[in-house]
């Protein structure tokens, strides 16, 4: 786990506010993935990014959610106008190359979002 | 539909005992299978990765097996320790399609008691 940095670890937002979750991948990793985990559920894919490109966002809700991975700085998952159902743990992962080839992907410690 | 099913959902064992966790999948075309350990409140940590041609892989007291014909995998933990208490997640990757092609099981929650 060491190396994939997520912040904040815990975030509380009121309904209607915005949540921004940040992820710095491991050094040398150019592939970033975001997953959401609901209580008692498995991790669900949200989005896969490389530097300045969204490669696959098939797991992202169509509205209110967006992600970016700029040339400089961390990847950001942004949730606008949060609702109670957005309360979950959001995990970021990174890999040096695509995980399809069997490369290990490394997860961060997660960001726990609570919407009140 | 690509799915990963794990059993049991939860398991309690005494310290020092062995246990085996099961994973069945219907993912196709299969690329590889991974086992992760997730401590409460933490991110998943990789234990093993196995490709189609690998039947078994060990990582310390953890031994994973794979039967690609029956689409089953198991994770065997030997001489359990209190620190093994965690959720163990089976993850299957399939070829092709989008890069969002990691299918996660819901995990088996293991509790090791003294």
Report CA A55 to chain centroid distance, whole Å: 14
A-chain residues within 8 Å CB-CB of B32? 102
- pLDDT band at B99, cuts 50/70/90? low
Tell whether the model's pLDDT for residue B70 goes beyond 50: yes
Q: Which whole-number Å values give the CA distances from A95 to A7, A77, B65, B100, in the listed order? A: 19, 18, 24, 13
Q: What is the largest CA-CA distance in chain B?
A: 46
User: Mean per-residue pLDDT for B63-69?
Assistant: 95
- pLDDT band at A105, cuts 50/70/90? confident
Torsion of CA A90, A91, A94, A98, to 10 degrees: -80
- What is the per-residue DSSP string for B58-99? EETTEEEEEETTTTEEEEEE-S--GGG-EEEEEEEEESSS-S
The Cα B90–Cα A76 span in angstroms is 27
- Burial of B25: CB neighbours in 10 Å, binned 0-12, 13-18, 19+: buried
**Is A115 in contact with A47 (CB distance < 8 Å)?**
no
Chain B contact probe: residue of A9, A39, A92, A105 with most B CBs at under 10 A: A105
Write phi, then psi, for B84 (nearest 5 degrees): -80, -10
pLDDT at A1: 47
Tell whether the model's pLDDT for residue B30 goes beyond 60: yes
User: Mean per-residue pLDDT for B76-87?
Assistant: 97
Tell whether the model's pLDDT for residue B112 goes beyond 90: yes
The Cα A94–Cα B71 span in angstroms is 27
Report CA A94 to chain centroid distance, whole Å: 10
Q: What percent of chain B has pLDDT over 70?
A: 95
- pLDDT band at B74, cuts 50/70/90? very high
The Cα A62–Cα A103 span in angstroms is 29
- pLDDT band at A101, cuts 50/70/90? low
pLDDT at B97: 56
Instruction: Give the ranges where B1-114 is alpha helix by DSSP (H).
Output: none
Query: What is the tens place of the pLDDT at every residue in A20-79?
Result: 999 999 988 888 999 999 987 888 989 999 988 998 898 899 999 999 999 889 999 999
Contact B93 A108 (CB under 8 A): no
pLDDT at B63: 97
Contact A107 B49 (CB under 8 A): no
Write phi, then psi, for A15 (nearest 5 degrees): -55, 135
| Secondary structure class of B84 (helix, strand, coil) | helix
pLDDT at B96: 65
Q: Nearest residue of B to residue A35 by CA position? A: B100
- Write out the two tokens for A74: 């961390």
Tell whether the model's pLDDT for residue A100 goes beyond 90: no
Tell whether the model's pLDDT for residue A102 goes beyond 70: no
The Cα B7–Cα B22 span in angstroms is 5
- pLDDT band at B59, cuts 50/70/90? very high
To the nearest whole Å, the CA of A86 is away from the closest chain B CA by 17
Chain A contact probe: residue of B100, B107, B108 with most A CBs at under 10 A: B100
Q: Nearest residue of A to residue B30 by CA position? A: A100
Tell me the pLDDT of chain B averaged across its residues.
91
User: Mean per-residue pLDDT for B55-74?
Assistant: 95
């Amino acid at each position: 786990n060491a190396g994939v940095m997520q912040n904040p670890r815990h975030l509380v937002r009121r309904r209607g506010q915005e949540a921004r979750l940040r992820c710095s991948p491991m050094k040398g990793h150019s592939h970033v993935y975001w997953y959401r985990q609901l209580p008692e559920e498995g991790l669900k894919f949200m989005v896969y990014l490389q530097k300045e490109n969204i490669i696959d966002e098939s797991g992202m809700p169509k509205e209110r959610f967006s992600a970016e991975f700029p040339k400089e700085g961390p990847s950001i998952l942004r949730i606008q106008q949060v609702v109670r159902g957005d309360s979950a743990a959001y995990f970021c992962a990174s890999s040096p190359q695509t995980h399809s080839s069997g490369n290990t992907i490394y997860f961060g410690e997660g960001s726990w979002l609570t919407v009140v | 539909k690509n799915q990963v099913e794990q059993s049991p959902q939860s398991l309690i064992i005494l310290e020092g005992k062995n246990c085996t966790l099961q994973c069945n999948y219907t993912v196709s075309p299969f690329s590889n299978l991974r086992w992760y350990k997730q401590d409460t409140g933490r991110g998943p940590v990789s234990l093993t990765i196995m490709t189609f041609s690998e039947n078994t892989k060990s990582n310390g007291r953890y031994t994973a097996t794979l039967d690609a014909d029956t689409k089953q995998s198991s994770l065997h933990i030997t001489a359990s320790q209190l620190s093994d208490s965690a959720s163990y997640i089976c993850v299957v990757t399939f070829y092709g399609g989008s890069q969002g092609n990691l299918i996660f099981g819901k995990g088996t929650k293991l509790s090791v008691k003294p």
